[in-house]
Amino acid sequence: MVKGRSRTGVPAAALAVLAVAAAGAAGCSDGAGAAPKIKTTARAGVAPTPPRQGAYFGAWVPPDGPVSSPTSTRPSGGTSPSKPSGENGGTGGKDAGKPGMGPVVGFERDLGRQLDIVQSYRGWKADFPTEDDESVLSGNRYLLLTWTGADTKEIAKGRHDGLIRARARAIKATGKPVFLRWQRDMDKGNLEKKVHSPDDFVTAWKHIRGIFKAEKVDNVAWVWCPTARGFGGRNAPAYYPGDDQVDWICADAQPGGDYDYRDLSESVKLFLQWARSRPKPIMIAEFGVPKAYGARRAEWLRKASQTLQDPQVKAVVYFNSDEQAEDARDKRRRFTVGGDKHAVSALREFATTPYFNPRNLPVTSGD
């Protein structure tokens, strides 16, 4: 990457507010109201910033291939390594030999293009970066680092300052743009014992960000990410730290195991309505089509593509894993597309749609 310019060619400006015109008609009309003028305080050319048009396309692809074990601790517990990397061209090539790279290159080969974003899950005390993270950072992909939280009250009291400072310095030392998604899904009931309350979460968020600021970590974009469901009954907005504390607003939007079928437009509807009042770029950081949808998976993906062609949506990240399945028969929480030629084809159409290829990366022909 050329120093002083972003990957989308936006000139660097010292902590400038980047305004992205919300132009271009979108496919989603459920998010009531026109998209706001997008702003982020992330440092252009240093931290990840939104594309001027369209949205980045990324994925979580487990580093050792599709995970089917319901006891996996990756996205749930965040204790495993990250993922692969890329160069400046298409898919495959010498990237396949880098640590953790094989599964991502294989996934990209099915997509017909390189990913813009590769997601990584980290436990609270996990070291960073790993070899797999270095693979991502060494190429032309952004790293989305999803970092599990600790007890928010302990964080606010400074009990973890040394660890936070070490992580801040490690991220700064990479010298590469990083999306940082700390304590996602904070609105879930099963996290209440360590999140405690919205006020406690916000205080901890500000404490962590304050340490990063003191360490002059400018190459991070802060991604706030509750569940999409939290906008319906769990009061997710109460956990919002404020426009001055957040660069990207986000939601995890799997349909849920309690539905026989549910379009993505229904899953994200209330979140998008709330987001209209925030001048922030949107990321959908976990979405996937359940294997239980069978012959309708391709239809679901095509509808999802239309829904997410929204001028405020600037990044989407597919969850290509089965690890959330509760047992071998649970197909409502399995999202990998491998082996399903119709789903693969539809996801390929999705990823190669110009809206989701804002960097105009090379597209390869299908097999």
pLDDT (tens digit, 9 = 90+) per residue, 107-163?
999 999 999 999 999 999 999 888 999 999 999 999 999 999 999 999 999 999 999
Name the band, by pLDDT with cuts 50, 70 and 90, for residue 96: confident
Cis peptide bond prior to 177, omega within 30° of 0: no
Q: Are 105 and 99 in contact (CB under 8 A)?
A: no
What are the structural domain ranges in the chain? 18-356
Per-residue pLDDT at 73: 37
- pLDDT of residue 69 exceeding 60, the answer is no
Per-residue pLDDT at 366: 63
Nearest of 308, 302, 222 to residue 265 by alpha carbon: 308
Per-residue pLDDT at 200: 98
Region 18-356: CATH code = 3.20.20.80
Amino acid at 185: D
pTM score of the predicted model: 0.85
- The string of pLDDT tens digits covering residues 29-39 is 454 457 788 88
Q: How far apart are CA 117 and CA 164, in angstroms?
A: 24
- pLDDT of residue 198 exceeding 90, the answer is yes
Contacts with 302 (C-beta within 8 Å, 6 or more apart), sequence order: 346, 349, 350
Per-residue pLDDT at 190: 95
